Amino acid sequence: MMQPILITGVSGQLAVALGEGAPGHGLSVRQYDRLALDFDRPASIVAAFAETAPWLVINAAAYTAVDAAEDDADDAFRANRDGPAQLARLCEDAGIPLIHISTDYVFDGLKGAPYVEDDPTSPQGVYGASKLAGERAVLERCSRAIVLRTSWVYSPVGRNFVRTMLNVVQRTDRLRVVADQKGCPTSAPDLGAAILSMAARIAADGWQDRWAGLYHAAGTGWTTWHGLAVATFEAAARYGARVPTVDPIETAEWPTRAKRPPDSRLDCARLEATFGLRLPPWQNGLARTIDAVLADEAALAP
């Protein structure tokens, strides 16, 4: 029987999507939570790897607190550079592939058009810098590494913008949301499905060296945070949720600890050309996320 895929993370947005989606792709996975595999404890990475003897590793774990990272650089770099570097070395030594996830925050957002993989990077904060260092460390150490940069991830679970909006609407009829940052919202289940399709292809066809490298993998289309908020409320209205007034504001009116790229839209053509994979339009993923969150709430209602 084939060994499982080792997945770092259990509770994260992408980790949950991978765990839920794997059986549908005929894939066996072994997921590790932070108690068992902690990037702060290198020995735990070695132990998990030895225990699983995987044929593929998917690194879905990361330090993702963008603002907190500004005051927590050591932790961010341990989780986003050093841990992935160690995983990459283990994968290289074992001759197996590694799928690692990176971010649109490696860019400064000043290009004025969707970014392609080879565009110059210039992270604006510690989180982006740590993720950039991580993708480089992985690609340097593992000849079978696929690095996927994604963006604006949301899902029915975990902490994300869409769920925050759904919570806020229960407390207010009017809110202000930044309207001058552009990006590609990405549903974790859609990203997870693309990753699992890749994994199934590697399992079926065997590894091909031309697959190694950097890809952009985000939901198709783009919007602003304001656009995403409005679309969230419109989708939730189908469940009878009230629709608040969403006032567009500029980034300067909503100061955050870490600077965000104003336009980090990702061009995902390379992913489609190489793997035939194109994530669905972000509105589709959003509709399914709202369905999942609000259907759950309806089921819990007295």
**176 phi and psi angles, rounded to 5 deg:** -115, 130
Q: Which is nearer to ligand NAP, 61 or 91 (CB)?
A: 61
- Catalytic residue (choose from 127, 154, 215, 239): 127
Distances (CA, A) of 108 to 105, 122, 265: 7, 5, 11
CA distance 76 to 71: 9
User: Rule CB under 6 A: which residues touch ligand NAP?
Assistant: 8-15, 33-34, 37-40, 60-64, 79, 101, 103-104, 131, 150-153, 158, 188
Q: Which is nearer to ligand NAP, 67 or 239 (CB)?
A: 67
CA distance 108 to 121: 7
Q: In the bound complex, what is the minimum distance in angstroms from residue 250's beta carbon to ligand NAP?
A: 21
- 239 part of the active site: no
Q: In the bound complex, what is the minimum distance in angstroms from residue 16's beta carbon to ligand NAP?
A: 8
Q: Which is nearer to ligand NAP, 55 or 127 (CB)?
A: 127
Contacts of 140 (CB under 8 A, 6+ apart): 88
Q: In the bound complex, what is the minimum distance in angstroms from residue 78's beta carbon to ligand NAP?
A: 6
Q: Which amino acid is at 128?
A: G
Q: What's the burial of 171, exposed, middle or buried (CB within 10 Å: 0-12/13-18/19+)? A: exposed
Q: In the bound complex, what is the minimum distance in angstroms from residue 302's beta carbon to ligand NAP?
A: 30
**Token pair for 141:** 């150490």
**Token pair for 187:** 């549903």
Q: Which is nearer to ligand NAP, 174 or 266 (CB)?
A: 266
Residue nearest to ligand NAP (CB): 12
Which residues are tagged catalytic?
127
